[in-house]
């Protein structure tokens, strides 16, 4: 039998079903109590339907600047993964350029207007 790893995600919700806490753990992780997160993006590819299935959650404690950093880092790691999977360096570079521009525009919005 092939080795298996189990990833568990627990989401605590408030009365309005808004996430208050996200905790995750994995059987192959060295962390005994799991880890806490303020946001998560989880995607699955359904080959039969040729569509992406997603779960996007963030807690009330997630700040806007943290969300921008989270998306920037996600775009960058998506570019790296895409490049490793396809060897399409040009498209990976375009995605990284988009990520840098995305973060630059976010930071410009945070500057006080003159």
Answer yes or no: do 70 and 105 share one domain.
yes
Read off the pLDDT band of 34 (50, 70, 90): confident
Residue 30 has pLDDT above 90, yes or no: no
Answer yes or no: do 88 and 73 share one domain.
yes
Residue 1 inside a domain? The answer is no
What is the rounded distance in angstroms from the CA atom of residue 20 to the CA atom of residue 17?
9
Answer yes or no: do 47 and 70 share one domain.
no
Answer yes or no: do 85 and 100 share one domain.
yes
Note down the domain range covering 90: 63-109
Answer yes or no: do 46 and 88 share one domain.
no
What pTM, to 2 d.p., does this model score? 0.87
Please count the structural domains in the chain: 2
pLDDT of residue 33: 75
- Name the burial class of residue 22, with classes exposed (0-12), middle (13-18) and buried (19+) by CB atoms within 10 angstroms of its CB: buried
Answer yes or no: do 67 and 46 share one domain.
no
Answer yes or no: do 57 and 12 share one domain.
yes
Q: Which two tokens stand for residue 103?
A: 């973060």
DSSP per position, the chain: ------EEEEEEE-TTS-EEEEEEEETT-S-SS-EEESEEEEEEEETTTTEEEEEEEE-TT--HHHHHHHHHHHHHHHHHHHHHHH--HHHHHHHHHHHHHHHHHHHHHHSPP-
Residue 66 has pLDDT above 90, yes or no: yes
Residue that is written with structure tokens 């840098």 in the block: 100
Residue 114 inside a domain? The answer is no
pLDDT of residue 112: 75
Residue 79 inside a domain? The answer is yes
Residue 113 has pLDDT above 90, yes or no: no
Are 37 and 24 a contacting pair, CB within 8 Å?
A: yes
């Amino acid at each position: 039998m092939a080795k298996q790893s189990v990833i568990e995600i627990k989401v605590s919700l408030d009365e309005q079903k808004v996430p208050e806490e996200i905790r995750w753990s994995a059987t192959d992780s060295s962390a005994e109590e799991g880890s806490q997160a303020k946001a998560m993006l989880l995607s699955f590819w359904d080959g039969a339907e040729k569509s992406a299935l997603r779960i996007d959650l963030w807690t009330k404690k997630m700040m806007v600047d943290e969300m921008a950093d989270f998306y920037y880092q996600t775009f960058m790691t998506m570019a790296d993964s895409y490049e490793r999977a396809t060897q399409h360096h040009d498209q990976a570079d375009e995605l990284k350029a988009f990520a840098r521009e995305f973060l630059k525009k976010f930071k410009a919005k945070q500057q006080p207007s003159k």
